[in-house]
Structure 1
Amino acid sequence: MCTSFVPSVGCHAQSCRSHLETERFSMRTSRKWLTCSTLALILAVIAAGLYGQQRWQRLKQENGITAIDWQGLGIGRSGMTLQRFIYKQETADGGRLELSAEGLRLRIGSLFATPALKALHMDRLEIEVRAGAADVESTRPAFDPTMLQQWAAWIPEQGSLPVIELKLPCASGQCQERLSLRWQHAGRELLPAEIDLTAQRDGHRLQLDARAWQARPAELQLNARLSLDGQPRIFLNNLISSAEERWSGSMTMGALPEAPWLLDWLSPWLPQPPQAFPALAEQMHLVVAWSLERPFDSEGLPDGEFNLDLNLPEYWPLPVLGQLKGDLNLQAQGRDGVWLPSSLDAALDWRPEATLLEGVPAALRPAELTLGITPGAPATSRDSLPLRLHLQSEGKLNLQLDSALQLHTRAANYRLESSEGQLRLQAPSLDLFDHRLTGLEATLGFTASADLHQAELRLEQNPTIRIDSLRTSDWAGEKLQLSLKDAHLQADLQQQATEDRRFALNAAPELRVQKLSHALLKPLGWQWSGKLQVNERQLELQGPLRNDAGLTLQLALAQAWGGTLAMDAGLQEIFFRAGNPLSASFSDWPQTLAFDNGRLNARASLEWPAASELTASLRLEARGLSGIYARSELSGLDTLLEMRVNGQKLQVDGARLDLQQLNVGFPIGPLHWQGSYQANLRSPASGRLQWQAAETRLLGGRLWLDAGEVDLAASEQRLALNLEGLQIPELLRAYPAEGLTGSGIIDGNAQLRSSPEGYSIDQGLLNARAPGGVLQFRSAKIQALGQSNPAMKIVAEALDDFHYSRLDSDVRYDERGKLQLGLRLHGNNPTLEGGRPINFSINLEEDIPALLTSLQLSDRVSETIQRRVQQSLQRDKTAP
C-alpha cells in the first residue's frame, strides 16, 4: 500500500512545483501590467489636466474672465451649498462685470426629472456693471428667443433672493438699486407661475407682482400689478390665445399721488433730468386696451383694435419726448397691416425735450406745441372720419395750422384729405443760418391728400411770405416778398428706402426786394420771377432777374443732389443811348467811365461738380461804344472777350479791342489790339499777357508794339515801341506853337518801361525821313528878341525859312511825365548868306500832363472833360 502511495505522492509534488512556478510568472506579469496601466492612467490624468488647464486659461482669456473664486463648497445628496462666489470679467472696450453671491443654497431633485433644480436661495447678490468706451461696437450675439425655452427648463421651481444690490450704467453715470426677488412655478409645465420683484430706496417701495396661468387649453393669462408704497397703481391684464392667434389686454393707471418721489427715483435713469413742476399730475388717468390678431408674426403690423384714454391735468414728463398735458381719446383699427383711427379727440399741450429737436435749428425749435383735434362735420359715409385740426406752436417762430380733415377708412381706398388748410407764420425777430430776419409774416392756404401710394400738396390763394428786413454779414435786404404761385408737390410713398422715393415740386415763384444793399451793389430794388422744379434728382430754376435800374439777367440754375451745380446767365443786351444800368447797379463801376452810345451783351456759364474743381466761361461783346473815360473821349469801341476758368486757372483767348478814335486833346486812332492772358485765380492780376497785334494811328503815322508777352508779376516790364510815318504838320496842329509851321515825316523807336511808379523811356530815338523838310518859325516875339541880341537875330533869320536835311532827337520820359528831347538839325536858309549850312542843337523839355491839361481846357474836347479838368485843378489848389 505504501509502495503504491509513494510514487503517487512524488508525482503530485512535481505537479505542484510546476503550478507554483506558473503562478509566480503570472503574478509577475500581472504586476507589470498593473504598474504600466497605473502609470498610463496617471499620465493620461496629468495630460488631461494640463490640457484642461490650457483650455480653461484660453477660455478665460477669450471671454475676458479675470477672476473666478468660491469658498465653502458643500455637496450633498439633496443639493449643494456655497458660502461665497466671486466672478469678474472685463471686455475689450474697457467694460467690467463683477458678481458676488453669498449664502447660496441649491436644492436638486432627480437628475432625470425636468426641472432638475427644485429651489434656489441666495442670502445676498451683488452685481456691478460698468460700461466701456462709447465708440467701441458691441460684438455680443443677438438674443435668440428659442434660448428662453431652453433656459426655462433649468429655472428652479422656487427662488428667493432677498437682497440684490445692483450698480448699473445710467444716464447720470452709475446708478445703484436695492432689489428683492421671489418666484415660484409648477415645475415641468411652468404654469401657474408667480414673480414678485421689489425695489426700495429712501423709505419708498416699488413692487411688481406678476401671475401667469393657463385659463383654458391653448390660452395664457398674464396679469401684473405695480404698487407704490403698498398701494396698487398700475394694472396690466393679458390674454394670449395660441389657438385663435390673438392677444388681448389692457393697462389701467389712475391717481398717482406718489408722482413726486417716483419722479425723483427715475430721474437718474432718464437722458434729461425732468424739470421741477409746481404741481404734478397726481390725478392723471390712463386706460389702454387692445386686441391683436397674429401679433407675433414677423411680417408687417398685426390687425386688430386699439383704444387709448388719457387725461393729464398737469404737465407730466415723458422719457425722451418731454412734457405732456391734456386729454387724448383714440380708437383705432388695423386691417391688412394698416392702422387708422376710427375715433379721435385730442387737446394736448407738449413741451418737447431739447434732445429731441437737436437736428432742428435753434430759432425754429418750438417751446410749446398745442394740438387740438375735434370731430368735423357729419360724415357723408360710414367709411370716413371727419376731423378739425388745430396746431399751434410758441417760440421764436410762432406757427398756427388749421385744416379740415377727411379720413377714408375703406380698405381698398385708404386716404386722408385736407381742405380749407391755412398755415400762418409770424416772428418779430429770428436768427437763422447766420441770417437775421425781422418782421416775418406768412399766410399759406393749401389743400392736401395722401394715400398708401402717394401724397399731394397744393398751395392756393396766392400764398405770400413777407419779411421786413433780412441781414447777413455781407448784405441786407428790406421789404422782401415771396409769392409761391402754382406751388404743387407730389411724393411717391411706395418705395421703402427714403432715398429711392420719387417726388416733384413745381412752382412759379416771384421774389421782390424793395432795397438790396451789398458792398458791390448800389441800393436798389430787385425782382426775380420764373419757374422752380425740384425732384429726387435735382433742383432747377429759371427766369429773369431784374433791378430798378433796368439791368436784366436771364438765369438758369440746376443743382443735382450731391452732384454738379450748373448755372447759365445771359445779360439782356444793353443800349447805352437809353442809359447805363451797369453804372447805376454796381458800386465798383468807375465814376470816370460813361457811355452814351453803343450796345453790350454777355453770357456766362458755370459747372461745379461736388468732387471736382469749378469750371466757368464768360463771353462779352461790345459794339460801337462811345463815351468818356477820365479826360478822354472814346468813339467806335468794339471789343470781344472770351474767358475760361478751370479750377484755379484763368485763361483769356482771342481777346480783341478796336477803337475808332481816342481824343485826349488831340485825336489818336484807329487803335487795334489782339492777344490773350493766363493767370492763377489766387492772383488774377499777376499773370502773363501775350499779344499778336498792338497798334494805333498817331498824327498821320503808325505807333505799335512788337508782338510779345510780359509777366505782370515781375517788378517791371519792358516793351519795344515803334513809330513810323508821323506827319510833322499833324504834330504842329496838335501841339500849336505860335508862328511855327513845317513839313516832314518822322520815324523812331524806344524802349518803354512799365513799373509800379509809372511809365518811362530811357533810350528813345526820333529821326526825319529823307530828304527832310522845312521849318518856318515866324514869331513876333523871337523877332523882337533878335533886335536886342545879334546872335538871336541870326537864329531868327535862319529859322524863318529853314530847309533841313537832317532832323533827329534823343527821347527821355520819366515817371512824373517829364519829356526831354535832344534835338539836332542840319540844313540852311536859302536866303541867308547864300544858303550857308547851319547846325542846331536844341534841348527841349515838356510836362506832358500839364500839356494835356492845357489842351483839354480848350474846345478840342467836350464840355464834360473840360469840367472834369477844371474840377481837378480846383481840388489841387485846395489840397493841403
Structure 2
Amino acid sequence: MQAHSKAKLVWRRLVSSSILAGCLVAYCALANSSINPAIFAALDDAQWQGCPQTQLSGLKLIGLPLQFELEHLKLNLACISHPQRPTQSASLVELKAPLQQLFIQLADWAKALPASQLKVKRLELKLTTSTSIQGELSLSQKVQQWQAQWRGDDGSRVAIQLEPQRQQLSLSGALQPSLIKALATVWPSFNTAQAYGPLNITMNLASLDDLQLAMRFSLPQLGSQVDAQLSGWENWRLDVNSSPFDFAQWQLPASHWQLQAGRWQAEIERWQTRGQGYWQLEPQLSVQGVINAQHLPLLQRSLYPLAANTELLSGEGRLDFVWQAERLTGHASLDSLNALWGEQRLSGGSLSSDFGYRPEQGWQHSGKLSLETWDVGIPLTQLTASWQQQQAAPLSELAGLELSQVRFSLLGGQAELSPFYLDFPTEALVNLQGLQLSELVALYPELGLSVAGSVSGRLPMYLSQQGLAISAGQLAVIEPAGKIALSHQSLVALKAQHPSLDFALSLLEDFNYETLAANVDFAEDGQLDMQVKLYGRNPKVSSRPVALNYRHQENIYQLLRSLRIGDQLSGQLQQWIDEHSAPPSR
C-alpha cells in the first residue's frame, strides 16, 4: 500500500510541523508577557533542519488577543515526497491514532491560548526539488474552534475548520489546474484530473470514534459532481455516486460505486450495466473483475460510435479483465446481437475476443464472430469469421486486422474466403461450392424460368476504399447434367418481335445441358458482367447438341436493393426492427 503509507507519513510529518508551530506561538506568548525583543529578533530568520525543513522570517506581534504576523514561512517537503516502499501493507485504522493525537493537541493549545491568530503573508510548500506551491495562510482559534484559510497565487483556496472536543473536521476548497498539476508530482492519482480542473471539494468528518466522512467533489468543466461516504475504520466502506459527465469523447451517465477492503462493485443504471470484482495495493496495484451489460446499445452509443448508417438494435455483453502494473488483459463476449447496416439486417450475432494492452505495445486483440443471418437481399446464413490484430493499434482502427476462416451459406451452397487484411487495398479469393441454380432463378419469378443444377467456382476479389471488385471469376456446373425450362407467357410475342431469337428461345423451353459455365467480372459500382456458355440439346427441337453463348449484364446492388424493398413494402423489415429494438425486461 505505497500510496496509502506515503499519505500516512506525510500526515505525521505535517502534524509534527503543526505541533512545532503551536509551540512557537505559545513560546512567543510567554515571551510577550515580559515584552522580550530578543526573542522576536532571534525568530526573525529562524531555520529548523530535519524533515520537513522549516524556515521563517519576519515574525511580528500585532496585538491582543494574541495576533501574529509572519512575513515568510517555507516548508521543504521534498524529503517526504518519495518514501521507501513499505515491507507490508498498512490499513486505514492506522491513520486513526495520529488524527486523534492532533485533536488532543489542538484542544490543549486552545486551553492555553483562549484566542489567537497567525497570519503568514508568504507560505511556500516545496513538494519536490523542482515543484512548489505558494500563497498566503491565516490560522485562528477561538472558543475551542480552529480555522485555517489558504489562498494560492493561482487562485486556489482551501478552508479548514476543526472542533477538537467534538472531534469534527470540515474542509472546502477550489483547486485550479496548476495546483492539481503540482500535486500530481507527489500523488500520481491527480494525473487523471489535471486536465479537467478546477476541482471544488467539500469534506466533513462527523465522527472519529465511528468513522463517518462525507465528501463532495465538483468538476465545473465536466458539469459533474461526485458524492462520497466513507464509514468504518477496520471494515471500512466507501460509497460513491457521480452525476453524468463527459470524459474525453465518452459520456458517462450517473453511476454508483462501492469500495471495500479487497472488493469493489459498480452500477450504471442507465446503461443497465453492473460490475464487481477484487482489488489490492500490494505488492502492486491491481484490479480484476467482471462487467455485465444487459442492453448493449445503451453502452455502445456512448462509448463506441459505429460506422455511418449502422445501428445496433440489441445485444448483451460480459467483460472479464485484470489490470495490473498499467497492463490490461481480458476477455469480452457479446451475444444476441441484432443490427442494421443501411437496409441490411444482421441477426443472431455473437462475438468473443481476447485482448491486452501494454504501454510499450498498445492494444492487441483476436477473436471470433458469428452471424445467423446477414440479409443483403439474398440471405447469407451461418456466417463465421476469425480475426487477429497482428500490429498494435487503437481498438477503433480496423486497418491491420487479419480476417481468416470466413465462411457462410448462400443459395443452398457454401462460400469461403481466403485470409486477408483489412488494410485497403487488399485481395482475397472467394471459393463457392454447390450453389443451387433453382434458388438463383427464384430471384426472377417474372421470367417463368426453372433451372436444375449446382454451381461451384472461384472469384478473385479486390477490396479498396471505393468498394469491392471481381476480375476473371469462373463459375461452372460440376454435375454432368442439368435442365433449363423457360415457359413465360410472353414468349410467343417475344419470338414474333425477334425472329432471330426464335431458335435459341425454342431450345430453352426444354434444354438438357451438359455444360454450363461463366466468366464473371464485377465493378465497384455493382455492375455485373457474365459471359455464359451452354452446351446441350433439346430433343423436341433438334437431336444434335447445340452450343449457346449468352452475356448477362446487371447492377447487382440495384437488384439486391429491389429485393429488400419488397420486405419494406410488406412491413417485414419494420416488424423485425420492432422485435429486436426493445430493451430486455428487468
TM-score by length of structure 1 reads 0.48
Instruction: Please give the per-residue CA displacement for 1:172-211, whole angstroms capped at 9, x wherever unaligned.
Output: xxxxxxxxxxxxxxxxxxxxxxxxxxxxxxxxxxxxxxxx
Equivalences for 1:768-787 in 2 at 5 Å? 768-787=477-496
Q: Which residue of 1 aligns with 2:118?
A: 349
Instruction: Please give the per-residue CA displacement for 1:567-622, whole angstroms capped at 9, x wherever unaligned.
Output: 22412252x4xx733235325245755555654322122222xxxxx543221223
Identity %: 18
Q: Which residue of 1 aligns with 2:19?
A: none
Structure 1 residue 284, shift from structure 2 partner: 6.8
Structure 1 residue 437, shift from structure 2 partner: 5.4
CA distance in 2, matches of 1:799, 1:837: 13
Q: Is the 8 A contact 2:45 2:57 kept in 1?
A: no
Paired letter, 1:570: V
Structure 2 vs 1, CA of residues 631 and 829 (structure 1 numbering), >3 Å: closer, same or farther? same
Instruction: Please give the per-residue CA displacement for 1:72-122, whole angstroms capped at 9, x wherever unaligned.
Output: xxxxxxxxxxxxxxxxxxxxxxxxxxxxxxxxxxxxxxxxxxxxxxxxxxx
SS of the aligned residue for 2:502 comes to helix
Q: Does 1:421 align with 2:168?
A: yes
SS of the aligned residue for 1:585 comes to helix
Q: Does 1:631 align with 2:343?
A: yes
Structure 2 vs 1, CA of residues 284 and 799 (structure 1 numbering), >3 Å: closer, same or farther? closer
CA distance in 2, matches of 1:789, 1:250: 126
Structure 2 vs 1, CA of residues 564 and 424 (structure 1 numbering), >3 Å: closer, same or farther? closer
SS of the aligned residue for 2:442 comes to helix
Instruction: Please give the per-residue CA displacement for 1:613-653, whole angstroms capped at 9, x wherever unaligned.
Output: x5432212234434434332233323332234454175545
Larger Rg: 1
Structure 1 residues not aligned, in runs of 5+: 1-248, 286-309, 322-339, 375-387, 406-418, 449-456, 489-504, 534-539, 609-613, 870-880
- Which structure has the higher relative contact order (CA within 8 Å, separation 6+)? 2
Q: Is the 8 A contact 1:423 1:444 kept in 2?
A: yes
Q: Is the 8 A contact 2:253 2:268 kept in 1?
A: no
CA distance in 2, matches of 1:360, 1:421: 35
Q: Is the 8 A contact 2:257 2:264 kept in 1?
A: no
Structure 1 residue 847, shift from structure 2 partner: 1.4
CA distance in 1, matches of 2:203, 2:228: 10
CA distance in 2, matches of 1:342, 1:630: 75
Q: Does 1:802 align with 2:514?
A: no
Structure 1 residue 319, shift from structure 2 partner: 6.8
Structure 2 vs 1, CA of residues 868 and 638 (structure 1 numbering), >3 Å: closer, same or farther? closer
410, 414, 420: which one pairs with 1:702? 414
Instruction: Please give the per-residue CA displacement for 1:533-553, whole angstroms capped at 9, x wherever unaligned.
Output: 4xxxxxx66221424232223
Q: Does 1:315 align with 2:37?
A: no
Q: Which residue of 2 aligns with 1:566?
A: 286
CA distance in 2, matches of 1:724, 1:662: 19
SS of the aligned residue for 1:855 comes to helix
CA distance in 2, matches of 1:747, 1:636: 28
Q: Which residue of 1 aligns with 2:96?
A: none
Q: Which residue of 1 aligns with 2:457?
A: 748
CA distance in 1, matches of 2:158, 2:357: 46
Structure 2 vs 1, CA of residues 680 and 627 (structure 1 numbering), >3 Å: closer, same or farther? closer
CA distance in 1, matches of 2:31, 2:341: 89
CA distance in 1, matches of 2:203, 2:507: 95
Q: Which residue of 2 aligns with 1:667?
A: 379
Q: Which residue of 2 aligns with 1:161?
A: none
Q: Does 1:581 align with 2:298?
A: yes
Q: Which residue of 2 aligns with 1:391?
A: 147
Q: Which residue of 1 aligns with 2:228?
A: 483
Paired letter, 1:586: L
453, 462, 476: which one pairs with 1:767? 476
Q: Which residue of 1 aligns with 2:527?
A: 818
CA distance in 2, matches of 1:311, 1:860: 87
Paired letter, 1:639: L
Structure 2 vs 1, CA of residues 756 and 565 (structure 1 numbering), >3 Å: closer, same or farther? farther
Structure 1 residue 517, shift from structure 2 partner: 1.3
Q: Is the 8 A contact 2:244 2:251 kept in 1?
A: no
Instruction: Please give the per-residue CA displacement for 1:327-383, whole angstroms capped at 9, x wherever unaligned.
Output: xxxxxxxxxxxxx87961140222153334666999986623122155xxxxxxxxx
Equivalences for 1:291-330 in 2 at 5 Å? 315=69, 317=71, 320=74
Q: Does 1:733 align with 2:455?
A: no
CA distance in 2, matches of 1:272, 1:615: 43
CA distance in 2, matches of 1:862, 1:592: 22
Instruction: Please give the per-residue CA displacement for 1:212-269, whole angstroms capped at 9, x wherever unaligned.
Output: xxxxxxxxxxxxxxxxxxxxxxxxxxxxxxxxxxxxx989873879x9xx99x999xx
Q: Is the 8 A contact 2:474 2:517 kept in 1?
A: yes
Structure 2 vs 1, CA of residues 669 and 359 (structure 1 numbering), >3 Å: closer, same or farther? same
Paired letter, 2:288: D
Structure 1 residue 773, shift from structure 2 partner: 1.8
Structure 1 residue 486, shift from structure 2 partner: 0.6
SS of the aligned residue for 2:161 comes to strand
Structure 1 residue 669, shift from structure 2 partner: 1.6
CA distance in 2, matches of 1:525, 1:342: 44
Q: Is the 8 A contact 1:650 1:678 kept in 2?
A: no
Q: Which residue of 1 aligns with 2:583?
A: none
Structure 1 residue 432, shift from structure 2 partner: 4.4
Structure 2 vs 1, CA of residues 343 and 621 (structure 1 numbering), >3 Å: closer, same or farther? closer
Paired letter, 2:432: L
Structure 2 vs 1, CA of residues 841 and 682 (structure 1 numbering), >3 Å: closer, same or farther? same
Q: Which residue of 2 aligns with 1:841?
A: 549
Q: Which residue of 2 aligns with 1:193?
A: none
CA distance in 2, matches of 1:355, 1:637: 61
Equivalences for 1:180-259 in 2 at 5 Å? 254=35
Q: Which residue of 1 aligns with 2:402?
A: 689
Worse-superposed segment, 817-826 or 549-558: 549-558
Paired letter, 1:821: M
Q: Which residue of 2 aligns with 1:648?
A: 361
Q: Which residue of 2 aligns with 1:160?
A: none
Q: Which residue of 2 aligns with 1:510?
A: 239
Greater fraction of residues in helix: 2
SS of the aligned residue for 1:548 comes to helix
Equivalences for 1:34-73 in 2 at 5 Å? none
Q: Is the 8 A contact 2:452 2:482 kept in 1?
A: yes
Paired letter, 1:372: Q
Structure 2 vs 1, CA of residues 787 and 734 (structure 1 numbering), >3 Å: closer, same or farther? closer
CA distance in 2, matches of 1:750, 1:354: 78
Structure 2 residues not aligned, in runs of 5+: 1-29, 47-53, 76-107, 181-193, 578-586
Structure 2 vs 1, CA of residues 736 and 369 (structure 1 numbering), >3 Å: closer, same or farther? farther
Q: Does 1:859 align with 2:567?
A: yes
Structure 1 residue 791, shift from structure 2 partner: 0.6
Structure 2 vs 1, CA of residues 554 and 861 (structure 1 numbering), >3 Å: closer, same or farther? farther
Equivalences for 1:543-554 in 2 at 5 Å? 543-554=265-276
Structure 2 vs 1, CA of residues 671 and 587 (structure 1 numbering), >3 Å: closer, same or farther? closer
* Cα RMSD for the two superposed structures: 4.3
463, 468, 476: which one pairs with 2:214? 463
SS of the aligned residue for 1:679 comes to coil
